[in-house]
Structure 1
């Protein structure tokens, strides 16, 4: 029997006991990221959880005694701080969404050749130190500044003071000043995801809505808003998560009655020799509470909207 020249030689069968070689390249590429997560995420979390059930003081040291009463001490005396953190972060997120959506919409659909410049104007202030930008608001909201004079002339301060947003005829050292500072600092975190989501929308869909005799509002409600929901969800998460842990704005722009959880944690860690366990317990409670809120929000909104 003759063989054809076109017949290809077949490779000898592999031994039955020979195992396929594993490709380690993907794992080697993941190794730096995994080490980073272990060193700067898992280890600090483990350290905080461990410190939250310890007893002792700074001079004699702390020992792991599984003292769960630290969590009780981290809850009851500081419920005002938890409440303030929640209210300020939610108010900041809502205001950032209300302000950021029109800005992102204008840049995405009306920006034209100026899109890059307009987005740069949104991002550039973030290049300045967070602390410096917050201190600048003390000048903007000063008692004899132009902002306070205009608001007082329009009789707005009397209304906001009755609502508890400002204090008498002052804006500085009030809950309103804290929220204003947080909105200014976290607004880019809302605009960027919104712009990315809106910029991907095909303009022909909006034209189709107009051709079907939809008003501008109906076109936005039925077409633009549903298609931009990934940006809304991403922006609200990127704003809410850092806002709920922020305390710089409350410390610089607020007063003793506007204190938040971060200020109490800082005080326990830096000014009380035996405050490490309770401060760690507050940190763990904040992490767990934020995680529960975020997961509930994602579950309610639908995780497919984040893709």
Structure 2
């Protein structure tokens, strides 16, 4: 804009001592919060969870096999902490973000997103390869008239080891698993650097307050030679869907979606049960007895499923010949009870 702005004044309309304009602990304008001091400390805690869980991920990749099961759990903590860090950051806004930080955050979220998808696809490919290998072995045994009494779950685990051991250096390095580790490290480094470069003295304050730009926009004409502070209360409050009660409106949305989902789930479950019942009625007596046995039988401790447990871990880089049962190690109380 052109013109002489040397005599610009500030319009304090709608602001008195009760306004957040004079309070360093929060910023509230137009019936919206943009800064709450307490959220700064919550944000710091979330970032430390990101930092420490990332270290946990790296350590469990080189730790003894009995700790490998912790790797995926540290990864889940990393992702959840990142979500909560993002939420808390929205309420500690003073002057915005520098371009360098925005670029860094792009690396944080980009690395997390692509790296997470990469490891999911990698696990699916490993599962398919192992199942194919087990299937081929079973066909070979069947063609030779050999009765297979092997534990199918163990066969699947052994097949995963075999698939992992068959990979060359090139296949290991140029892989989705390597992509996963590399991108997650890049993501983690951006947060780690900011933690130790940021002021953590605890003297954070909400020290800015929004002002309308001296231009004409759809929100209003403020090209009047003055700088107008955004009012504490929204002058068009009545147009908002929650104007009759913020809490009541929020609970309507939350509870409405909750009970709506339960209703749809109940209808869908009833329909699926009816379809299954009709299929069962259409079966012959022998097929029906077999279906009943499958649906009512509960495996005992000596029986196993063909599917690998979620936590089973195959280390392709170190000790690939070992497959880790990744359930948590028994506690001392469990050990003592089993030996007593």
**TM-score scaled to structure 2, two decimals?**
0.21
More helix by share: 1
In terms of fraction of residues, the more strand-rich structure is 2
Q: Larger Rg: 1 or 2?
A: 2
TM-score (norm 1): 0.23
